[in-house]
Amino acid sequence: MSDWFPKNISTFGGDIDSVFNLIFWIVGIGFLLGEVFIFYALFRFRRREGKKAEYVNGDLWPHVGWLIIPAAIILVLDLWIDFAGAKAYDRIKGDMPISDVVVKVDGKQFNWIITYPGPDGAFGTEDDLILENELHVPVNKVVKVLLGSKDVIHSFFVPVLRLKQDMLPGREIEAWFEATETGRYEIACAELCGYGHYTMRGFLSVHSEAEYANWLVERWPAPETEADGQQK
């Protein structure tokens, strides 16, 4: 079923997809077995003349075993899923890798306000660059996004990155990703934020390293950058 997923261009996207697949197979097989059992039982034990039903109330051993043993199997499978999930979750939400690029993304009815700190690396300074709905990042680099909101709760959702994180007003939440393929992808808001929620669409542009360097130079031509940096 993960064929239906959008393309994955994130380093940890594969972990999510593989946990999904693991659950899909475990649950899928269990589901099929269960349904086959039900339909077989319905067919085999349909009413027939002269055949009385069996009187088994199932409250005594060993009958209870017919419920407890399958339940124990479910428990073991559950734990398997939990452990696989915990590993993937730790990779994504555990210790954050050292980031190469830091960007601030704020939700605001109904736009993405994207702030680059500029060469000085600090937010709230004059060399900050503020863009609307356009997020530019280099490929194969760890990007840290600082998520916030100016009004209500939004949710930063990049399907190709398998990244979703709510953005709360009054809080800054860190998330990270590392894109593995260049291209231009869509950013969506995943949390109902008002009448314009559905229009809250942004773009993630993943550039090759050279392209990204160019993009940086275009924004912050070298001499000014240095001057700026020293002023602060």
Using CB under 8 A as the binding rule, the residues of this chain from 116 to 145 that contact another protein are none
Among residues 69, 84, 63, 108, which one has the least CA distance to residue 17?
84
The torsion angles phi and psi of 202, rounded to 5 degrees, stand at -130, 180
Residue closer to another protein by CB (options 11, 155) is 155
Stretch that binds another protein, among 75-83, 97-105, 112-120, 205-213 (CB under 8 A): 75-83
Q: Identify what 85 binds: Cu ion, another protein, none; CB under 5 to 8 Å per kind.
A: another protein
- Which position has the token pair 């555990």? 94
Q: Is 204 helix (H, G, I), strand (E, B) or coil?
A: strand
Size of interface with another protein, in residues (CB under 8 A): 85
Piece of 87-95, 111-119, 129-137, 138-146 that binds another protein (CB under 8 A): 87-95
106, 150 in Cβ contact below 8 A?
yes
Q: Is 89 exposed, middle or buried (0-12, 13-18, 19+ CB in 10 A)?
A: middle
- Integer CA distances (angstroms), 107 to 189, 192, 204, 214, in order: 9, 12, 15, 27
Q: Is the peptide bond before 177 cis (omega within 30 degrees of 0)?
A: no
Nearer to another protein, 59 or 218 (CB): 59
What are the residues facing 149 on neighbouring strands?
A: 107, 169
Task: Look up tokens 């550039």; give the residue.
Answer: 207
Which residues from 161-200 bind another protein, rule CB under 8 A? 162-171, 173, 185-186, 188-199
Q: Which of 9, 88, 137, 179 binds another protein (CB under 8 A)?
A: 88
Beta carbon of residue 180, minimum distance to another protein (angstroms, whole number) = 17
Candidates 14-22, 98-106, 117-125, 212-220; binding stretch for another protein (CB under 8 A)? 14-22
**Residue selected from 11, 127, 159, 177 as contacting another protein according to rule CB under 8 A:** 159
Contact positions vs Cu ion (CB under 5 A): 154, 189, 193, 197, 200
